[in-house]
Amino acid sequence: MLKNKAIIRLAFFGAAIAWLILLFSEITILFSSLKGLPPDVAVWLPRVMLGVYIVCLFYYYKFRIELDDSLNFTDLLWKVFATGLITTVISLVFRLLLFLLGKTALATNLIFNDIICQINLALLVNFLVAALTSWKRLILYQKSKWLLRSWALFEVIMLVVLLNDSLGIALSQYTSLFINIAIGILVLVLSANMRWVAYLNFRQKWTSLLLLLLTFFYLAYFFYTVEKSTELINEKTQAFLDYRAQLIVLVLFWFIVIYGIFSFLVILFNLPTSSVFEQKLEEVVNFQRISQSIQTEQDEESVYNILLESSVSSVFADAAWLEITGANNDRKMFTYRVTEQESKNIVDHLEKNNIKGVLDAGSEKTKNLSKHLAAMRGSRFRSILAFPIIVKEETIGTLALLKELPEGFNKEMTRIVSAFANQAGISIENFRLMEEAFQNARYKEELKIAKTVQQSLLPNRLEEDPGFQIAAFSASADEVGGDYYDTLRINDHLVALIIADVSGKGTTAAFHMSQMKGIFHSLAQQHMDPKEFMQRANQALVYCLERRSFISASYFIIDTQEKIIRYSRAGHCPVLYLKAGEKESEFLKDKGAALGMIRSKDYCNYVETNELKYAPGDIMVLFTDGITETKDSKGEEFGNEGLAAALNEMTTATAKEIEQNIIKRLYEFSGTKNLDDDYTLMTVKFTNN
């Protein structure tokens, strides 16, 4: 950008300096000629400076206009108009000056008139070069290789002509004729490129015609002014830079005139087709609006409103309505320039005349509809088109367009509205799919939060005791489960353990899990019997759990002083227990109903306290059903047998090693680490302390 600005400034100052040198040398030569003296400057200098002036102007406008991508077609014509206006105003100022001077000596002075003539010539050349640059942008719109080569050849020929004019080389008659013919052919070929005209709307075409007329006026004015000034000076002396001897100026002039005439005529003859083109463009824009409504709108109603507006504007309808049937067969009416009552009256009238399925897009049906609508009293509408809105091969509504004129819709309009209705159905379907995707994404985000909450509810560390080792493992499936385990020290020799499984998944399970954690921490500290713990926990949860929800749990109190385990089981998985010195483990299948299953005081009859004396080396494994219900590729479950076998392999190992072996065997059995359910495992091994 900075480089372009520097070139623009350099070209401007170069043109100004070249013209000042041209003016000075021209005046010097003219003065010497009038005095009969040899000129102090070379007679070829004005021609060379005119060439330099044209080249500098060419690059000035090249970077000002040709490389400005923000300019549209009418902007280019405005640039030509503005340049012509400024140069004409400057020229008129000097004409006014000559008028005010009247018949004074200064007004009739040849040198003064020469200065005025050179100013007008510079303004004319400036206007021609500006128009040339704008014409080039218009000609090369949607350019092709052939067109680019033609323009490059035209510029090369103009450069040759410019060099010839600057050097003053006399060409032979045949060479001059060949150059003129080549230039004429190229000018006609290039002037035939009018693709840009098709992209002007009706208003832009009228604006372009006006700007071109003004351009012709500027050209005629400058041609007349420069011609008169040249004739006035040539009557008294021949030592003068005559523009008519500069072929480059004539080429520029006639090229601007010819392309301007071609443009004017093409735009004029295209005026009657402007409305058709604009209608097609409006159809494309409206179709695009419907297609992109899924990205820009917030709900389905916005898509319906866009469909109404687009359809009405594309077929020049007077009104429209859209009736949509919801999921519960409820109907919604969307209207545009028509009331709901008017719409209902039209529907009732068509049904009364047994005109069913106003959805046929055929021309005969449209004609019949218009005929029946024309007979309707009290309605301002006399033509109707109607189409179904189909989503996933199911009709969800009807689009109806109205006109106040009879037989107001033709086949072309029918085709357009049909395309709009089909696209609206696709957009609505995509919108619903997008909404479903958003809901899934929102659900996954909630699931992620619930999993975070679930993990935070599990203990960071377990209670430590010299009398036993304890290890715990928990892994969640894709959905949030409700597996819970925890420990709490009651006093120096009593430690409480709990393992639970909340029914259900997701955020509800995580919420109930948090409730279970609160109950455990509040009741366990009171050092109550495990049966009483379960009774009071059930009583508390009755007010929190839904009717179909429950929590299975096992609660333990380990007494390291008496080496006794007191526990109560509430519908949870049985405890896997291995006694020291024995090679086989067993499952302690004690009775107990899950928390929340029985919502009365009778719950005490369904739960009991069990007592177990342990010895050093004994192992107790607590688990949730996700462990034993894990399936392999054949659909067989890991089961109690698999769990017991994994424990029996490690009877002399530590609690942590036992846990690791069980998890290893579990994953080997399933053949995958993608969980179908939560895995929760607590391993307790009693020591000699």
Residue 236 structure tokens: 């008294």
In a domain, 84, yes or no: yes
More confident position, 493 or 196 = 493
Tokens 């749990």, residue located: 553
Verify that 543 and 417 share a domain, yes or no: no
Q: How far apart are CA 159 and CA 163, in angstroms?
A: 6
In a domain, 282, yes or no: no
Q: C-alpha angle with apex 477: 475 to 480, nearest 5 degrees?
A: 100
Verify that 494 and 403 share a domain, yes or no: no
Give the CA count within 13 Å in the CB-facing half-sphere of 567. Answer: 26
Q: Are residues 626 and 552 in contact, defined by beta-carbon separation less than 8 angstroms?
A: no
Contacting residues for 250 by C-beta, under 8 A, at least 6 apart: 243, 244
N residues, the chain? 689
The neighbouring-strand residues paired with 566 are 557, 611
Q: What per-residue confidence (pLDDT) applies to 292?
A: 59
Verify that 510 and 613 share a domain, yes or no: yes
Q: What per-residue confidence (pLDDT) applies to 115?
A: 85
Is residue 443 predicted with pLDDT exceeding 80? no
For position 552, which CATH number holds? 3.60.40.10
Mean pLDDT value across residues 651-672: 90
Is residue 126 predicted with pLDDT exceeding 70? yes
The CB density around residue 519, as the number of other CB atoms within 10 Å, is 23
Is residue 293 predicted with pLDDT exceeding 60? no
Give the CA count within 13 Å in the CB-facing half-sphere of 28. Answer: 15
Is residue 597 predicted with pLDDT exceeding 80? yes
Q: pLDDT tens-digit profile of 458-480?
A: 898 899 899 999 999 988 765 66
Verify that 271 and 314 share a domain, yes or no: no
Q: How far apart are CA 229 and CA 610, in angstroms?
A: 126
Backbone torsions φ then ψ of 28, nearest 5 degrees: -60, -45
The CB density around residue 344, as the number of other CB atoms within 10 Å, is 13
Q: Are residues 11 and 59 in contact, defined by beta-carbon separation less than 8 angstroms?
A: yes
3-state helix, strand, coil in the chain (%, to 5): 60, 15, 25
Q: How far apart are CA 689 and CA 637, in angstroms?
A: 38
Verify that 121 and 163 share a domain, yes or no: yes
The CB density around residue 220, as the number of other CB atoms within 10 Å, is 11
In a domain, 108, yes or no: yes
Q: How confident is the model at residue 486 (pLDDT cuts 50, 70, 90)?
A: very high
Closest CA to 427 of 321, 322, 290, 305: 290
Helix, strand or coil, per DSSP, at residue 302: helix
Q: How far apart are CA 194 and CA 267, in angstroms?
A: 9
Residue 72 structure tokens: 């549209």
Q: How far apart are CA 320 and CA 417, in angstroms?
A: 12
From 276, 305, 326, the end of a domain falls on 276
The neighbouring-strand residues paired with 465 are 468
Verify that 124 and 269 share a domain, yes or no: yes
Q: For 537-584, give the secondary structure using H, E and C.
A: HHHHHHCCCCCCCCEEEEEEEEECCCCEEEEEEEECCCEEEECCCCCC
Q: Give the strand pairing for 331-336 and 319-325.
A: antiparallel
Give the rounded percent of residues in the chain with a pLDDT score beyond 70. 89
More confident position, 44 or 537 = 537
Q: What per-residue confidence (pLDDT) applies to 671?
A: 82
Is residue 613 predicted with pLDDT exceeding 90? yes
In a domain, 549, yes or no: yes
Q: How far apart are CA 689 and CA 561, in angstroms?
A: 10
Q: In which domain, by residue range, is 308 found? A: 297-435
The CB density around residue 639, as the number of other CB atoms within 10 Å, is 15
DSSP 8-state symbol, 631: B
From 435, 470, 489, the end of a domain falls on 435
Q: What per-residue confidence (pLDDT) applies to 359?
A: 41
The neighbouring-strand residues paired with 471 are 683
Q: How confident is the model at residue 258 (pLDDT cuts 50, 70, 90)?
A: very high
Contacts 24+ apart (CB under 8 A), 330-333: none
Is residue 496 predicted with pLDDT exceeding 90? yes
From 276, 305, 335, the end of a domain falls on 276
Instruction: Identify the H or E element spanning 328.
Output: none
Closest CA to 412 of 230, 276, 300: 276
Q: How confident is the model at residue 647 (pLDDT cuts 50, 70, 90)?
A: very high
Is residue 677 predicted with pLDDT exceeding 80? no
Tokens 């479903």, residue located: 436
Strand order in the sheet with 483-489: 483-489, 494-502, 551-559, 564-570, 610-613
Verify that 504 and 582 share a domain, yes or no: yes
Is residue 689 predicted with pLDDT exceeding 80? no
For position 406, which CATH number holds? 3.30.450.40
Q: What per-residue confidence (pLDDT) applies to 361?
A: 41
Is residue 284 predicted with pLDDT exceeding 60? no
Look up residue 44 and give its amino acid: W
Verify that 530 and 658 share a domain, yes or no: yes
Verify that 579 and 609 share a domain, yes or no: yes
Q: pLDDT tens-digit profile of 54-92?
A: 999 998 888 887 666 666 788 888 888 888 889 889 888
For CA atoms 236, 241, 245, 251, the dihedral sign is negative
Q: How far apart are CA 568 and CA 304, in angstroms?
A: 62
Q: Are residues 376 and 292 in contact, defined by beta-carbon separation less than 8 angstroms?
A: no
In a domain, 448, yes or no: no
Verify that 272 and 358 share a domain, yes or no: no
Q: How far apart are CA 192 and CA 265, in angstroms?
A: 11
Helix, strand or coil, per DSSP, at residue 232: helix
In a domain, 236, yes or no: yes
Structural domains in the chain (count)? 3
DSSP 8-state symbol, 172: P
Rounded to 10°, the helix 274-296/300-315 angle is: 180
- pTM, two decimals, is 0.50
In a domain, 51, yes or no: no
Q: How far apart are CA 214 and CA 219, in angstroms?
A: 9
Mean pLDDT value across residues 324-330: 75
Residue 522 structure tokens: 């509040």
Q: C-alpha angle with apex 442: 440 to 444, nearest 5 degrees?
A: 70
Runs of H (alpha helix) within 36-72? 45-61
Verify that 472 and 616 share a domain, yes or no: yes
Verify that 240 and 324 share a domain, yes or no: no
Q: pLDDT tens-digit profile of 199-225?
A: 787 888 888 899 999 999 988 888 888
Q: What per-residue confidence (pLDDT) applies to 507?
A: 73
Is residue 365 predicted with pLDDT exceeding 50? no
Q: How confident is the model at residue 633 (pLDDT cuts 50, 70, 90)?
A: confident
Q: How confident is the model at residue 368 (pLDDT cuts 50, 70, 90)?
A: very low
In a domain, 474, yes or no: yes
Q: How confident is the model at residue 241 (pLDDT cuts 50, 70, 90)?
A: low
Q: Are residues 405 and 330 in contact, defined by beta-carbon separation less than 8 angstroms?
A: no
Q: What per-residue confidence (pLDDT) applies to 607?
A: 93
Mean of pLDDT over the chain: 83
Mean pLDDT value across residues 403-412: 80
Q: What per-residue confidence (pLDDT) applies to 290?
A: 56
143 conformational bin, left if phi > 0, alpha if psi -120 to 50, beta if neither: beta
